[in-house]
């Protein structure tokens, strides 16, 4: 692979120098512990960076006054680091370690080199690092984390020089087998943990984008028990100890349980509301049935009243009442028009009524006309009831009440 192509590949997919430099600051607690130990022994902290790349780690150590050197097989990377003034040369990692004396360095680091090396060679590098490190010295190996599904199935293969993913437990076991006294794994880099436990979509995104890398921190046995706790003191401030999928599965179970509880609550509320509505419907049906029964009873009662009214109207009593009412109306008419006009009206009403009844019956009509044939005037009067009656024009009255009385008396 062309060295210049690989340099551009890292810049495109691994991140900018500023981004990588920011990520490396999470190792400051480890550097501070090692620096404190060197200060106590009055020696300058020394380090070797295997596969130093663009030099972000070298820059951080140099700023903290470390005596640091780096190696890389990519000529473009080496040239870039040398241009920044770093002590970097092109060499194989295993060959470089074999050339170093025993117990000569405080820190040996390798960022994203383990996945590029054959596993047998990687075991030899770990073994040589154990030999070269001072007592209580630390080997730092950072590599892509295959526990992250997106890394193990996809992004790991964006670098064509990668061989195969290395499970954290495997690299930890390899360091333990090569004699390191304390070997810890910390998962790091990637998305931050969502705050809302019920935002399950955010947790799925976090599950796929967190703990993209892990680091193995292997400490060589120290000369005193105190020096063997240098890594332990810094661990709490570097990444996370447990695989993130364990927490995610717990959150998923809790989310499913809460979802089921919400569904059950909604179902209970629905059943309660449905029962209340059914009770209201039943009540309305009962009220409707009662009103129908009342309406039916009312119809029967109305029919009975109508029959009673009909019987009363057809009875002699009602005819008597009618006669009394007519007498009352005559009396009222008398008060307004006097006795003479009232007598004339009574004579007219009685005569007209009698003539109308006589002329309505053929036999009586014949007899009446026979009796009045010698009186042309009387005969003409009787014949007038046989013709169509023309409406009588209403006179002008002094009061509305007088008009009402006149209309009552002149009804057919």
With cut-offs at 50, 70 and 90, classify the pLDDT of residue 187: very high
Judge whether residue 388 has pLDDT over 50. Answer: no
| Contacts of 386 by beta carbon, 8 Å cutoff, 6+ apart | 359
Query: pLDDT (tens digit, 9 = 90+) per residue, 318-332?
Result: 667 666 777 777 778
pTM (2 d.p.): 0.63
User: Mind giving me the DSSP string for 78-143?
Assistant: HHHHHHTT--EEE--HHHHHHHSPSS-EEEEEEES-GGGS-HHHHHHHHHHHHHHEEEEEEEEEEE
Query: pLDDT (tens digit, 9 = 90+) per residue, 6-15?
Result: 778 777 777 7
Tell me the range of 156-160, 216-220, 237-241, 369-373 where mean pLDDT is highest. 216-220
Which pLDDT value is given to residue 10? 74
- Among 137-151, 173-187, 360-374, name the one with the lowest average pLDDT: 360-374
Pairing of the two strands 133-144 and 210-219: antiparallel
Tell me the range of 54-58, 147-151, 248-252, 254-258 where mean pLDDT is highest. 54-58
With cut-offs at 50, 70 and 90, classify the pLDDT of residue 114: very high
Judge whether residue 389 has pLDDT over 70. Answer: no
Judge whether residue 317 has pLDDT over 70. Answer: no
Which pLDDT value is given to residue 318? 65
Which pLDDT value is given to residue 8? 80
Q: 142, 116, 111, 110: which is closest to 128 by C-alpha?
A: 110
Judge whether residue 110 has pLDDT over 80. Answer: yes
**Distance in angstroms between the alpha carbons of the first and the last residue of the chain:** 128
Which pLDDT value is given to residue 393? 59
Query: pLDDT (tens digit, 9 = 90+) per residue, 291-315?
Result: 999 998 988 888 888 888 777 766 6
Which pLDDT value is given to residue 47? 97
Asked whether 243 and 187 are in contact (CB, 8 A), the reply is yes
Asked whether 147 and 168 are in contact (CB, 8 A), the reply is yes
- Beta strands across the sheet bearing 105-111: 88-90, 67-72, 46-50, 105-111, 133-144, 210-219, 182-190
Rounded percentage of the chain residues whose pLDDT exceeds 90: 44
With cut-offs at 50, 70 and 90, classify the pLDDT of residue 145: very high
* Residue corresponding to tokens 């570097």: 238
Sign of CA dihedral 356, 362, 366, 371: negative
Say which residue, 62 or 325, is predicted with more confidence. Answer: 62
Give the count of beta carbons closer than 10 Å to the beta carbon of residue 11: 12
Judge whether residue 409 has pLDDT over 70. Answer: no
Mean pLDDT of the chain: 84
CA distances from 91 to 66, 75, 323 (A): 21, 10, 143
Query: pLDDT (tens digit, 9 = 90+) per residue, 15-31?
Result: 788 889 999 999 999 99
Judge whether residue 379 has pLDDT over 90. Answer: no
**Average pLDDT in the 39-47 region?**
92
| Contacts of 208 by beta carbon, 8 Å cutoff, 6+ apart | 148, 149, 150
d(CA 172, CA 10) in angstroms, rounded, equals: 26
């Amino acid at each position: 692979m062309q060295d210049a192509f690989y340099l551009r590949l890292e810049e495109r997919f691994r991140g900018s120098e500023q981004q990588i430099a920011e990520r490396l600051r999470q190792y400051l607690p480890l550097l501070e512990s090692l620096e404190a130990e060197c200060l106590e022994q009055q020696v300058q902290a020394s380090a070797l960076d295997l596969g130093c790349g663009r030099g972000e780690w070298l820059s951080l150590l140099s700023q903290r006054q470390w005596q640091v050197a780096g190696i890389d097989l990519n000529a473009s990377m080496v040239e870039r680091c040398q241009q920044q003034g770093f002590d970097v040369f092109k060499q194989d990692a295993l060959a470089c370690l074999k050339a170093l004396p025993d117990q000569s360095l405080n820190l040996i680091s390798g960022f994203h080199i383990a996945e590029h090396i054959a596993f047998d060679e990687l075991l030899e590098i770990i073994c040589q690092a154990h030999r070269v490190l001072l007592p209580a010295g630390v080997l730092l190996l950072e590599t892509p984390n295959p526990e992250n599904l997106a890394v193990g199935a996809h992004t790991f293969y964006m670098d064509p020089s990668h061989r195969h993913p290395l499970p954290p437990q495997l690299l930890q076991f390899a360091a333990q087998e090569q004699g390191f006294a304390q070997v810890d794994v910390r998962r790091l880099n990637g998305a931050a943990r969502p705050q809302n436990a019920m935002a399950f979509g955010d947790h799925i995104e976090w599950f796929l984008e967190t703990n993209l890398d892990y680091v193995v921190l292997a400490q060589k046995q120290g000369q005193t028990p105190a020096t063997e706790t240098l890594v332990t003191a810094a661990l709490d401030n570097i990444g996370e100890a447990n695989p993130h999928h364990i927490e995610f599965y717990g959150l998923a179970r809790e989310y499913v349980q809460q979802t089921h509880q919400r569904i059950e609550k909604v179902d209970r509320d629905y059943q309660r509301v449905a029962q209340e509505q059914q009770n209201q419907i039943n009540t309305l049906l009962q009220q409707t049935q009662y009103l129908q029964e009342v309406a039916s009873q009312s119809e029967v009662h109305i029919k009975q009243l109508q029959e009673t009214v009909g019987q009363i109207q057809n009875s002699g009593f009602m005819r008597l009442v009618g006669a009394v009412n007519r007498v009352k109306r005559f009396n009222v008419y008398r008060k307004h028009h006097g006795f003479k006009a009232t007598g004339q009206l009574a004579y007219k009403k009685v005569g007209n009524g009698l003539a109308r009844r006589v002329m309505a019956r053929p036999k009586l009509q014949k007899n009446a006309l026979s009796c009045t044939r010698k009186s042309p005037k009387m005969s003409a009067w009787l014949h007038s009831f046989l013709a169509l009656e023309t409406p009588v024009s209403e006179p002008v009255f002094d009061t509305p009440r007088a008009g009402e009385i006149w209309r009552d008396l002149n009804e057919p």
